[in-house]
Every structure is written in structure tokens, then in C-alpha cells.
Structure 1
């Protein structure tokens, strides 16, 4: 399953070809030029991988090059090879390391089928994830077609499809939804009266009791009343769920406040809203 974030891409593809054939399409410049980019290379650890931008030649029918890519036609450069384990793995810098590092690993699933896992780490932003992720989506789709002898009708269409997929995935990951818990932090001397108020007067059902907290059923949520020594005022803490807490924090543009309380067995972050209300942005259990 692919994993997309603003800092890293992990793409899985099952290719209908033996491992050695897939490897040849990665290291042979003539074959690599049919799905990615080629150029004179010194294939060894710390060697150079030559790349020439000829994406206008990747489609098998006449397809116009989008205006934003026309200035890059025939641009050439080299990247440093950071990993070389033929015929199973190759790694190289991206934009001289400014755009991170790419590692491609191959695993034989059968005599005729190969799993390719591409990891592009060190991304700088959502824009990088969309740009590089869309590119890798298109290039790997072209590779899959070339390996079985099929044509690539419209590379630019594959690129647009990939960019849209990256945008959609990043949007989902940064999305937020209500959690299951609300907590109020109550000074020690007011805790018992506050519990009695909600339990006995409001009539909320007690669902869990801890040493310094009591949980009450609040519709579909649990309302926690936490006893806090050395506190003079009541604070409200809310829970929000996100599949990608880091992306969600970026969406909120809120400060990371993980010093507030240890998070044990939880993937997420403490933050706060402009009024100072504390928020726990976390993955839902099991997600």
C-alpha cells in the first residue's frame, strides 16, 4: 500500500516481469529512456547517474508537451548513487540532495513477477510530494507498460493523474474529524463538586473511573473530568482524529505542544487553538 506524506513517498508496484528484466530497465540507459530518463552513468556506489529530460518522447502517440515543461526539454544533469546492490537495489540523490533521496528495491515474487518498492525521502513540502509523487506515478506506470510490451499512449495524462492522486491523498491525510474524548482539567479543591454536578445533577453515566479522572458518557463521546493539583483554573482539552497528525498540524498552522503531557501508545501531537484550548490531534486507534 502506498504511503504519501509531505516528507516521504513510499510506492509499491507489482510488475509482470522477472526481476532481472526489471533491473535491466533501471540500469540500461536505452531501456531506462523508454520510461524515465537516461544518460551516461557510472553505476557504482558514489558513482554518477546521468539523466536527460526527454519526457516529450515517452508517449507513443503525438501528445503536446505542457507549457510548464517545455523549457526543461533536453536538460541534462547527474545525481550521486547512494546505494548500489545489483540486481536488487539502487539509490540516488534528487536535485543533488536538495530534493531528498530515492531508493528503489526489487523483490522477486515469482519467476515472472517482481515487486518494486520506491521510497523518496527528504521531501520539503506538500508541493514536493505532488510534484515528485505525480512524476513517479507516471514513470512507474510507463515502466509497467513497457515491461509487458504495451504502448504508453499519453505520458502527460499519466502525470496529471498522478498529481491528482497525490493531492487527494494529502488532502485526506490532513483532514480532521472529531475524536471520542473531551476533558476538563479541574483544580483539586473543585474536583469532587464538579464530578457531583455532572454525575448527579446533569445525570451523566459514569463509564470509567481512574485514580485522578472520571469518564462520563456524553452522547457518543466520553467526557473526562481530570483532577489536577496545583492548578487554579479550569482548562478544556479536546481530541481530534487524523490519519496523518503531522499533516493535520500543518493544516491547522498550530504550534506543537508535546511538552504538555506524555503520549504513551498514541501517534499524534498536542497543540492548541487561538484561544488557548488544548487539542490532541492523533490517529484513531486501529488506523
Structure 2
């Protein structure tokens, strides 16, 4: 892991098709766990959807990214008003580890680690084989984690879709072709 003094907000490829991205967030760990698992908190930074915390449980996540800001931001071409995805809990060790399936990729694991009064959140998104999908996923996680950091820390949320577009261009420069 990165030294916390030099924690880079950008995700990196830790394997050819695995994105790892981290954020240092205000604790306690149970509070950040709630942001991952409780629909009302999760919808403020990622997607809504009631989650039963047991291995094998399924959840429908519902994204409404335009609603992450007030006033709402305008979505880029090719994105709908809403996106839905069925996920399954594949790993569960509250409040330290949550793994879920993720579409056609190898799934996502959220790791939480206490760092004094803060929490290091590591997101690992595996087997993102296609470059266009990797760019979207990288910019998406980065933008959504920035929303989480702002919400959890009482800061100002970036304008989601504008931020996502800038990040996608930056990841296009940063990640190998």
C-alpha cells in the first residue's frame, strides 16, 4: 500500500486488469462501513439499494448520478438517467471487508483499515479486461470516492459528471494503452 503521507487519489493497475484505488476517510470504521452497506448513505455517493449482510445475498444497486449534486449535473451522451445492476455479496467480514460481484468483471472488494482516527478505504476492482470499460470504471470509482470523501468529511462535493469527464481523460493519459 501507499505510504499514507503520499496517498495518491488516482487508482493504479495492480495487475494488468485490476484497478486499486484508496481514500483516507474520517472514522470511525463503523461509520465508513455504514456508507458501504446502508442504502441511504450509499446513495449519497454511489448507488441506492437495500443490502442484506450475508454471503450470497443479492442486491439491486440503482445509480442516479445526476442527483449526487444540487443542482443536478448534466450527464454525458451515452449514459441514461438511471443505471441498475444486480450484485451478490461474495466476501463479508464486518466492518473490515465487503466483496460484491460486478457485472461482467471479476468483482469489487472494499477493505477498511483503521489508521488512528481515520479509515483507509481500499477498493479493488478485478478483471476489467476492456480498455474503454477500464477508463470508465477508473474515472467512476475516483469520482464516486471523491463524493464519499466530501460527504463523510463535510466538504463540498465536486460536480459529478464534469468531474468524471475530466478524470476519464486523465486516466486515458495515465493507464497503459
Is the 8 Å Cα contact of residues 48 and 78 (structure 1) preserved in structure 2? yes
Determine which of 45, 52, 72 is the counterpart of 1:42: 52
Is the 8 Å Cα contact of residues 7 and 124 (structure 1) preserved in structure 2? yes
Determine which of 125, 129, 137 is the counterpart of 1:132: 137
What is the distance in 2 between the residues matched to 1:34 and 1:14?
18
- Which position in structure 2 is the counterpart of 1:90? 98
Look at both structures and tell me which one has the larger radius of gyration over its CA atoms. Answer: 1
Is the 8 Å Cα contact of residues 38 and 51 (structure 2) preserved in structure 1? no
**4+ runs of 1 displaced by more than 4 Å?**
none
Q: TM-score, normalised by structure 1?
A: 0.55
Determine which of 147, 156, 164 is the counterpart of 1:151: 156
What is the distance in 1 between the residues matched to 2:138 and 2:158?
20
- 1:79-228 residue pairs with structure 2 within 5 A? 79-95=87-103, 98-110=104-116, 112-171=117-176
- Which position in structure 2 is the counterpart of 1:24? 34
Is the 8 Å Cα contact of residues 21 and 124 (structure 2) preserved in structure 1? yes
Compute the displacement of 1:13 (Å): 1.4
- Which position in structure 1 is the counterpart of 2:85? 77
Cα RMSD of the aligned pairs, angstroms, is: 1.7
Question: Which structure is higher in RCO with an 8 Å CA cutoff and minimum separation 6?
Answer: 2
What is the distance in 2 between the residues matched to 1:131 and 1:64?
17
Q: TM-score, normalised by structure 2?
A: 0.86
Helix, strand or coil at the partner of 1:81: strand
5+ residue gaps in structure 2?
A: 3-10
What is the distance in 1 between the residues matched to 2:158 and 2:26?
19
What is the distance in 2 between the residues matched to 1:11 and 1:90?
15
Compute the displacement of 1:145 (Å): 0.3
Helix, strand or coil at the partner of 1:141: helix
Is the 8 Å Cα contact of residues 43 and 49 (structure 1) preserved in structure 2? no
Compute the displacement of 1:100 (Å): 2.0
What is the distance in 2 between the residues matched to 1:75 and 1:140?
18
5+ residue gaps in structure 1?
A: 175-287
**Aligned length in residues:** 167
- Relative to total residues, which structure has the larger strand share, 1 or 2? 1
Is the 8 Å Cα contact of residues 147 and 157 (structure 2) preserved in structure 1? yes
